[in-house]
Amino acid sequence: MAGEKPRRSIDEVTGLSDLCPATPQAEIPSPRRGTFPTVRPRRLRNSSAIRNLVAEHRLHASQLVLPLFVREGLTEPRAISSLPGVVQHSPESMRKAVREAAQAGLGGVMLFGIPDQRDATGSAGVDPDGVLQRAIRDTIAEVGDETVVMSDLCLDEFTDHGHCGVLDARGNVDNDATLLRYAEMALAQADAGAHVLGLSGMMDGQVAAVRSALDAAGHTDVILLAYAAKYASGFFGPFREAVESALEGDRNTYQQDPANAREALREVELDIAEGADIVMVKPALPYLDIVHAVSSQVTVPVAAYHVSGEYAMVEAAAERGWIDRERVILESLTSIRRAGASIILTYWATEAAGLLRG
Ligand code: PBG
């Protein structure tokens, strides 16, 4: 037809036969799909732009929660030797830390109170004017709804024997008597304005007991973060200094045996059935298999607590120049995200938020 261009061969279009006229077709290596040298995973790592584009997991300040210790009677913050960079706060320094946390865009703060006076039943924990309740009120006054205000709901900071519950006549932790105490604590903390209660005592039935007490008092909006899978861990060591723990012995009759994984799923299942809004695994890095198993199994948000001992190990090694501190911080937190936790409690929260901003 007039005006129609003659069809050209592929060789003419690509110029392939001109470039390598002597190469017979059969000798051109055919791409070997799915293998080297065609496939080169390193292509996707060649620049930080491409690495960012293909990153599967990201850390964000809004997923980080900062634990804070408030010590009754302090006028100045006091250092904790086994947790360099973490302090026991005075009311004033706590307000400042809370403000900084909110400004850094953190997801929340988790408050722990250390009272002046301890007794067998942890009375300071239920006192409306107790150190933790005051800290909650101060925090709410400082940041309102800008960040999520969480409080630890456990007796160990308030009992003179340091256990997470009250004891029976033989000196064993009395599960059911403890639940009554937790219900009272829950009301005191909710009345003070806490948004989220962190149930860390590992008593059977604690979520249900606290939920029904809160609901009966009209606190239906208060969120329950259940430390569902909390292991009896040596990694809590520095925390015991931070809260001046009076504990002698161990918590092996209520916290989980590190040897068990399936049991964690059972604990989580029970807590969700009892009304947990968020479940937590603790510690984090030695239990990433549990974080992963839990997050693939449940539909509620999953948190992980990067605990004091995990923090202290990194700080100690970094102090000796043995590891690159900031790099290890971000790698540790990213690993917890990769395992499936969407919320991370970490003493590095405010600093990490700064690192993420660059
Ligand atoms: C108990 C509680 C503990 C931690 C948080 N809540 C200590 C324990 O169970 O012995 C440990 C946190 C940490 O090590 O950073 N209220």
Which structure tokens are listed for 308?
């004091």
- Active-site hit among 282, 302, 336, 347: 282
Taking CA 96 as the corner, what is the angle to CA 95 and CA 102, rounded to the nearest 5 degrees? 90
Residue 71 located in a structural domain:
yes
Amino acid letter at 220?
T
pLDDT for res 33: 77
Q: What angle do CA 236, 239, 241 make, to 5 degrees?
A: 125
pLDDT of residue 358: 81
Instruction: Note the Cα 263 to chain centre separation in Å.
Output: 20
Residue 119: inside a domain, yes or no? yes
Q: Is residue 223 situated within a structural domain? A: yes
pLDDT at 1: 43
Asked whether 110 lines ligand 1 (CB < 6 A), one says no
Q: What residue numbers bound the domain in which 219 lies?
A: 59-357
61 with 96: CB under 8 angstroms?
Answer: no
Distance from Cα 106 to the centre of ligand 1, integer Å:
21
Residue nearest to atom 8 of ligand 1 (CA): 236
Query: How many distinct structural domains can be found in the chain?
Result: 1
Residue 255 CA: nearest ligand 1 atom is 9
237 burial via Cβ count (<10 Å: 0-12, 13-18, 19+)? middle
Question: How many whole angstroms separate alpha carbon 308 and alpha carbon 22?
Answer: 69
* Residue 4 placed within a domain: no
> Rounded to 5 degrees, what are φ and ψ at 331?
-65, -40
CA angle 71, 73, 78 (to 5 degrees): 50
Q: Hey, which of 181, 197, 200 would you mutate to test ligand 1's pocket, going by the most ligand atoms within 8 Å of its Cβ?
A: 200
**Which of 233, 239, 281 maximizes ligand 1 atoms within 8 Å of its Cβ, making it the mutation to test the pocket?**
239
Q: How far apart are CA 136 and CA 104, in angstroms?
A: 19
The DSSP secondary-structure symbol of 5 reads: P
Confidence at residue 11, expressed as pLDDT on a 0 to 100 scale: 52
First-residue to last-residue Cα distance in the chain: 65
Cα 236 to middle of ligand 1, angstroms: 6
Distance CA 262, CA 156 (A): 27
Q: Is residue 38 part of a domain?
A: no
On whether the CB atoms of residues 143 and 149 are closer than 8 A, the answer is yes
* Nearest residue to 65 via CA among 234, 227, 206, 273: 227
DSSP helix/strand/coil, 300: coil
Atom of ligand 1 nearest to the CA of 202: 9
Instruction: Answer yes or no: is 215 within a domain.
Output: yes
- Is 230 part of the annotated catalytic residue set? yes
Instruction: Tell me, yes or no, whether 45 lies in a domain.
Output: no
Q: 193 C-alpha to center of ligand 1: Å? A: 22
Ligand 1: does its nearest atom lie under 6 Å from the Cβ of 156? Answer: yes
Q: How far apart are CA 89 and CA 287, in angstroms?
A: 29
pLDDT for the residue 2? 45
Any atom of ligand 1 within 6 Å of the Cβ of 200? yes
Low-confidence ranges of the chain (pLDDT < 70): 1-31
Short-list 230, 227, 159, CA closest to 197: 227
Tokens describing residue 141: 């006054």
Closest CA to 102 of 145, 59, 132: 145
**Residue 230 and residue 193: Cα distance in Å, rounded?**
26
Contact by Cβ (8 Å): 192, 148 = no
Res 9: pLDDT: 55
**Closest by alpha carbon to 310, among 283, 287, 288?**
283
Residue 302, domain CATH: 3.20.20.70
Ligand 1 in contact with 152 (CB < 6 A)?
A: yes
Question: Is the CB of residue 311 below 6 angstroms from any atom belonging to ligand 1?
Answer: no
- Catalytic residue, candidates 95, 134, 230, 251: 230
On whether residue 94 sits in a domain, the answer given is yes
Distance 239 CA to ligand 1 centre (A): 6
Q: Check residue 25 and give its pLDDT.
A: 58
Pocket test for ligand 1, best of 87, 150, 153, 154 (most atoms within 8 A of CB): 154
Instruction: Give the distance (Å) from ligand 1 centre to CA of residue 185.
Output: 17
